[in-house]
Each structure stands twice: as structure tokens, then as C-alpha cells.
Amino acid sequence: MPKIIGESLEEHRVAMRRRVFDALVELLQDRPFDAITMADLAAHAKVGRSSLYNHFKDKEAVVVAFATEETGRYLDQLNESLANQTTPTARLETYVRHHVDTSKDFHIGLGPELRAMLSPESVMAMREHVVAVEQVLRQILIDGAAQGEFAVDDVDAIVSLLHATLSARHASADTTTRFVLAAVSADRD
């Protein structure tokens, strides 16, 4: 009988997933995804391999589940930060600052290199997480254009350009925020 972590099966499931996700993050710091095995994940998480397979069918499932959990956590924090902002400009500034300030906590390099190693199904599942975050930005831009605060003629292009800007890890939150607000401001003349 496998050892249960926690007081209930739900607590066990949550603790098990957290252990595996923490192991994934630690292992990705030392080696590429394709060099990580389920045995590595189990050993690093200090769980049995059969127990790991009871929760995840393969390492792609681990990555997708990790991204799902991290995106949910990211969106919860982002929406909490945005809740008290009343104007699109204040919401955009909050969005940018949140992204820059939390990038070290939420972005562990699940980028193009990893996507190239995943199945089409896993890539689609990972894309859903990006879309969920982009939708928040898209709505801020639409609201800002509607209220005359932003000059946005192609929302999809602006979302892509702003997210490319947000990937500049060396820029401060102040610099990035000024740049983004200047880029979309209706008062650019």
C-alpha cells in the first residue's frame, strides 16, 4: 500500500503534484527537458515511480499539468492586482509591472526549445495557457481603445508586440512600463 502524504487523498494529490513540480523545476535548471526521465522525476521528488505514473502518464503530462497550475496561480495573482484598478491605463501598468515583477517566479524556460520536444497535443494544451494570459491583456487594450486612452488598430498584433517586449528580462519594471504605455497611448502625437 503506497504511503499517503497528508490527511486526505486530496491533500495527498496536491502534495504529490507539488513535489513532482518542484522536482521538475530543479531538474530543468541542470539539464534539458529531453534528458529528464520519469525515473529522474520520481527520485528527485522522493516518490515511487509507480506512484508517479498513477498521477502522470508521462513527462509531457507533468509539464502540461505544471503549466496549468502555474498559469492558474499567475492569473489569480494578476487578477487580484488588477481588481482595484479603475482605468485601462492603470490596468495596463499593473499588468506590465506584474509580469516583470513575477517573471522570475513563473517563467522557468518553458519556451520554444521545450515546445519543439512536445507532441502536438501537448503544444496545444500549453498554448491554451498563453491564450488565457493574453486574453487579460487583450481586454485591457480593447477597453483602453474604447475609452480613448489607447490607439490600438490591431489588437492581436499589439498583444504579440507587447508580450515580446515583456520577454526582455533585463529591463526594469519602470522602463518597460513607460515603453509599453508610450507605445499604446492615444496621446502619441
CB atoms within 10 A of CB 187: 9
CA separation for the pair 7, 5 (Å, rounded): 7
For the full predicted model, state whether its pTM sits above 0.75.
yes
Output the pLDDT for position 4: 59
Q: Residue 34 pLDDT > 90, yes or no?
A: no
- Grade residue 111 by pLDDT with cuts at 50, 70 and 90: low
CA separation for the pair 189, 185 (Å, rounded): 9
Output the pLDDT for position 32: 85
Across 100-109, 115-124, 150-159, 161-170, least confident range: 100-109
Spell out a b/e string for 60-98, using b for 16 or more CB atoms within 10 Å of the CB, else e.
Answer: bebbbbbbeebbeebeeebeebbeeeeebbebbbbbbbb
Q: Residue 154 pLDDT > 60, yes or no?
A: yes
Output the pLDDT for position 1: 42
For residue 91, what is its C-alpha cell?
A: 490596468
> Helix, strand, or coil here: 148?
coil
* CA 74 to centroid of chain Cα atoms: 6
Q: Residue 99 pLDDT > 50, yes or no?
A: yes
Q: Taking a C-beta distance cutoff of 8 angstroms, is the pair 20, 55 a contact?
A: yes
